[in-house]
Structure 1
Amino acid sequence: MGAVNIWNAMEVAEGASDGQTSGIPSSHLTIDHSLSIPEMKPRLVELCKDLFKKWPNLDASHLSVETVSGGITNLLLKVSIREDSSKTVDLMVRLYGPNTEYVINRERELQAIPYLSAAGFGAKLLGVFGNGMVQSFIHACTLTPSDMRKPKLAAEIAKQLHKFHQVEIPGGKEPQLWHDIFKFFQKASNLEFDDSEKQRKFKTISFEEVHNEVNELKELTSHLNAPVVYAHNDLLSGNLMLNEEEGKLYFIDFEYGSYNYRGFDIGNHFNEYAGYECDYSLYPTKDEQYHFFRHYLEPERPYEVSEKDLEALYVETSTYMLTSHLYWALWALIQAKMSPIEFDYLGYFFLRFNEYKNQKERYCSLAKAYLWGSKK
């Protein structure tokens, strides 16, 4: 059963296409992120009965559950409900990672989802509950980092990102990048770890150095006059899905979405070519970036984009790519303290911050040369 049909079947959120969330079913129930799937199953039954009144007699025999992704922030579950011998409804249940409110603005996310959905992005929001949300299930395969650099897919991602950046979300339109980075910095710099080895590694970080780098980069990027758009801010391969039969690409998971600088969204996406292993030898070449820029700037006439416009976006993206490293480095420190997910967040901080330092001189010099030359 396709995503749109599921949405209609639920008969919820009549105003969602107009960006209204008041019609979305809600429940106060929560599901413990640490439970095994068999232990979660009866709780998921109760959740579905509470949210969707059409299944008052639902029991565990009608429901199957499988993990879609553990991720490094949330737990995603595919919940299949057998209504009768010929009809099954597939739902996506997203359990927020514990303590993710330290790094994610859930109110901002829930406000944006209906507008993005109405514009053709992501899954439909079907319900919200104490520590997660229920969405329509997208029948597609998640991309890998190597998929993103395939010319045909890169062009389609660029076209979709151009469209994504046109979506208008009500409310303030101030870019959130520096607000979020300074918020992360404040939280990260005051952490203490119970684990002595983690605390030892944490103590090797010079937060004075990090703070100076943040201020220096904030000053430099302020001269670029980058357009402010509604940005995804986390366009990694795991948030891109492809249905090859339909030839349809999906953007999913908008929890980090906000108004932000265009160059940050693109530069952050390019950083994700490296994957979680942070193999930055996979960062796209200038030719690969120009291929992306052409399809982003002029989706219908990519080869009519001028060299001047390509160069300007290259400088903008390259500079904001550096800010992406600082953003996720600080984010990782907070996750190292707060998240129960098995992932070396502390090591991830050092990978991102060290790559920032490796690339800083090259791309800051590029930006300064471009800005100085443009004022001649």
Structure 2
Amino acid sequence: MDSDIPNGATNGDPMSQIQYIPLSYDSSNDSSNDDSSARRLILALRPEWSSPDSKVEFVRFTDGITNTLLKAVNRKPGLSKAQIDSEAILLRAYGHGTDVLIDRHRETQNHELLMKYGLAPKLLARFENGMMYRFIQGKVCQPADLREPSIYLAVARRIAQWHATVPCLHETNTGSNGVTNGHHSPSIDLIAPGKPPPNVWTVMQKWIRALPTKTEAQLKRQSELQEQLSWLVRGLSQRPGLGKNGLVFAHCDLLSGNVIIEPKGPGTNVNGAGDIREVCQNTLQQQPSVSFIDYEYATPSPAAFDLANHFAEWGGFDCDYRVLPTRAQRLEFIREYIHTYFSLVKPPAEGDESSSVDEEAESQRLLAEVDMFRGVPGFYWGIWALIQATISHIDFDYAQYAVVRLGEYWAWRDAMDGKHDKEVPLREQRWAQVE
């Protein structure tokens, strides 16, 4: 019964004030069950929506391939669309079995941290297999939108804001045996020496450990991927980069569906507070602004990985390599990113000329780093898709997607190894295209 739900119960974290609702969302294919369980969750959060004049409806979003995302609205008579949307709630139910991929406690920490910096909508409640948060008004991007200059420059500014202002969350409770909070083994946490866990390297290590190993072929595949991860860590993890320890707080999943184009007007952040510099800039220049949603994969990472991963998403789930950003587009994006990043980090001490920033030099340096990381997203999502192929109930060909994404990695690996005896794959051709 809804009346049994503790008022104001939290999610079990003493530092969190987020309400916890001990109910589940029913993700079966029966739409009546979907509506019934979603309604029960919404009314547990908003009991006033059960009034006689309320008209609760749900809108399903279909852009993602992992979670269920519903927009709950109360179409009470006399309210305008803007008024209805201002009270709308997003209900996100986790995909089946995804706890093996995602630390849900960590996801809540990420959301609360981003709320603190005005970069996430208000998190309203958690429930047994998901969460509810305020709806962000705006348009959900499609892959083609990401390729529009005004939009990709807005994305560049927002990524830079994340990387420059949000501190990395690292685990601090490490015992003498190196086990972090009892969740991981030392071999996972210490995969990249000198990089405090968690980070993008420990995430990939965790995923490789989670791969199925019931057959000889599966064991061989896991061993091969482990060997490749070790090679990547040796070659890339210790490279210098932006942020402390060469890590920034990265989104790591900036596909089109996680980018929201905000309504035109004075720039405000997703909590409505608005950074005054951004407000002035957007008002004067009428630049578009964007927000990001879904922080389940957010983790400390090299900035170059976050950017390379986003560029890979220009082609959408179809992996259309013909539309990936050319070198000129990547440089334009990175110049905007660098300009924003260094306008937000702690300014150099007055009179300290050695602390001045050569933005063009930094842009060229980051462009080269993104080039170095261009094959890593394929490796990352290829492993992810191999796991999803064994656990997901969603109608999506994860096995084939894994083949395609890992193929991107192997094409890059061949290029890194100087193998020119084969025809250059389309993705590598497009990445090398100048204009």
TM class, shorter-chain normalised?
0.7 to 0.9
| Larger mean Cα displacement after TM superposition, 119-128 or 95-104 | 119-128
| Larger mean Cα displacement after TM superposition, 127-136 or 204-213 | 204-213
SS at match of 1:163: helix
Amino acid paired to 1:218? V
Q: CA deviation at 1:191?
A: 5.3
Q: CA deviation at 1:175?
A: 5.0
Query: CA, structure 1 residues 28+301, in 2 after alignment: closer, same or farther (shift >3 Å)?
Result: closer
SS at match of 2:375: helix
Q: CA deviation at 1:280?
A: 2.0
Corresponding residue for 1:181?
204
Task: Note if contact 1:298-1:305 (Cα within 8 Å) is conserved in structure 2.
Answer: no
Query: CA, structure 1 residues 26+54, in 2 after alignment: closer, same or farther (shift >3 Å)?
Result: farther
Q: CA deviation at 1:35?
A: 4.1
Task: Note if contact 2:63-2:257 (Cα within 8 Å) is conserved in structure 1.
Answer: no
TM-score, normalising length: structure 2: 0.71
Q: Partners in 2 of 1:26 and 1:155 — Cα distance?
A: 38
Q: Partners in 2 of 1:122 and 1:24 — Cα distance?
A: 14
Q: Partners in 1 of 2:68 and 2:53 — Cα distance?
A: 20
Q: Partners in 2 of 1:79 and 1:44 — Cα distance?
A: 9
Q: CA deviation at 1:70?
A: 5.6
Query: CA, structure 1 residues 346+238, in 2 after alignment: closer, same or farther (shift >3 Å)?
Result: same
Tell me the matched-pair count. 340
Q: CA deviation at 1:141?
A: 1.2
Amino acid paired to 2:27? H
SS at match of 2:32: helix
| Larger mean Cα displacement after TM superposition, 143-152 or 202-211 | 202-211
SS at match of 1:128: strand
Corresponding residue for 2:304?
263
Given candidates 202, 225, 228, the residue that maps to 2:240 is: 225
SS at match of 1:329: helix
- 1:126 maps onto 2:179 in alignment: no
SS at match of 1:276: coil
Q: Partners in 1 of 2:94 and 2:394 — Cα distance?
A: 11
Task: Note if contact 1:41-1:60 (Cα within 8 Å) is conserved in structure 2.
Answer: no
- Unaligned residue ranges in structure 1 (runs of 5+): 1-11, 193-198, 366-376
Given candidates 29, 40, 43, the residue that maps to 2:34 is: 40
- 1:248 maps onto 2:301 in alignment: no
Query: CA, structure 1 residues 189+319, in 2 after alignment: closer, same or farther (shift >3 Å)?
Result: farther
- 1:68 maps onto 2:61 in alignment: yes
Residues 147-296 of structure 1: pairs in structure 2 closer than 5 A: 147-165=145-163, 166-168=165-167, 170-172=169-171, 174=197, 176-190=199-213, 206-226=221-241, 227-246=246-265, 247-296=288-337
| Larger mean Cα displacement after TM superposition, 272-281 or 38-47 | 38-47
Q: Partners in 2 of 1:203 and 1:111 — Cα distance?
A: 34
RMSD (Å), alpha carbons:
2.9
Task: Note if contact 1:45-1:58 (Cα within 8 Å) is conserved in structure 2.
Answer: no
SS at match of 1:26: strand
Bigger strand share? 1
SS at match of 2:411: helix
The Cα offsets for residues 261-302 of structure 1, whole Å up to 9 and x where unpaired, read as: 111111111111121111223221111111111111112999
Q: CA deviation at 1:206?
A: 3.7
Amino acid paired to 2:90? M
Q: Partners in 1 of 2:53 and 2:407 — Cα distance?
A: 49
Corresponding residue for 2:338?
297
Amino acid paired to 1:236? L
Amino acid paired to 1:211? Q
Q: Partners in 1 of 2:15 and 2:253 — Cα distance?
A: 23
Given candidates 348, 358, 365, the residue that maps to 1:312 is: 365
Given candidates 132, 140, 143, the residue that maps to 1:142 is: 140
Q: Partners in 1 of 2:117 and 2:417 — Cα distance?
A: 36
Task: Note if contact 2:62-2:69 (Cα within 8 Å) is conserved in structure 1.
Answer: yes
Query: CA, structure 1 residues 45+171, in 2 after alignment: closer, same or farther (shift >3 Å)?
Result: same
Q: Partners in 1 of 2:14 and 2:113 — Cα distance?
A: 8
Task: Note if contact 1:31-1:43 (Cα within 8 Å) is conserved in structure 2.
Answer: yes
The Cα offsets for residues 183-236 of structure 1, whole Å up to 9 and x where unpaired, read as: 1112215256xxxxxx9xx76974443232222111110342232011101011
Corresponding residue for 2:97?
99
| Larger mean Cα displacement after TM superposition, 158-167 or 60-69 | 60-69
SS at match of 1:234: coil
Corresponding residue for 1:9?
none
Query: CA, structure 1 residues 20+142, in 2 after alignment: closer, same or farther (shift >3 Å)?
Result: farther
Q: Partners in 2 of 1:187 and 1:53 — Cα distance?
A: 40
The Cα offsets for residues 80-131 of structure 1, whole Å up to 9 and x where unpaired, read as: 1245543643111111111110111111110111221232323221111111
* Identity value in percent: 29
Q: Partners in 1 of 2:231 and 2:313 — Cα distance?
A: 24
Query: CA, structure 1 residues 300+261, in 2 after alignment: closer, same or farther (shift >3 Å)?
Result: closer
- Unaligned residue ranges in structure 2 (runs of 5+): 1-6, 172-195, 266-287, 344-356, 419-435
Query: CA, structure 1 residues 132+286, in 2 after alignment: closer, same or farther (shift >3 Å)?
Result: same
Amino acid paired to 1:235? L
Q: Partners in 1 of 2:116 and 2:69 — Cα distance?
A: 22
Q: CA deviation at 1:63?
A: 1.0
SS at match of 2:74: strand
TM-score, normalising length: structure 1: 0.81
Task: Note if contact 2:26-2:33 (Cα within 8 Å) is conserved in structure 1.
Answer: no
